[in-house]
Amino acid sequence: MNKKELFFISVTVFLTIVSWVLIDAYKVDLAIQEEKQELSLISKKINLDVSVLKILKQKKPYEL
């Protein structure tokens, strides 16, 4: 192998590793954003009206 071939192989390997690291960092960033969205959905308060549950308990089941 001459120096030119070795240089091209080295550049190819270097660019492959750099792109691999960048893609992995992008995937981690997406995962963190999805996790933040899930946490924001969980933290919302749900106001439940108990009177609706009582009415539903009193209803008769549908007969066929």
Count of the separate structural domains present in the chain: 1
Whether the pTM exceeds 0.85: the reply is: no
Report the C-alpha gap between 24 and 31 in whole angstroms: 11
Written in H, E and C, the secondary structure of the chain is CCHHHHHHHHHHHHHHHHHHHHHHHHHHHHHHHHHHHHHHHHCCCCCCCHHHHHHHHHCCCCCC
Print the domain residue range for 9. Answer: 3-58
Query: Is residue 64 one of the residues assigned to a domain?
Result: no
Query: Is residue 63 one of the residues assigned to a domain?
Result: no
The 10s digit of each residue's pLDDT in 6-58 is 999 999 999 999 999 999 999 999 999 988 887 776 666 777 788 888 888 88
Q: What is the CA radius of gyration of the chain?
A: 29
Report the C-alpha gap between 55 and 49 in whole angstroms: 11
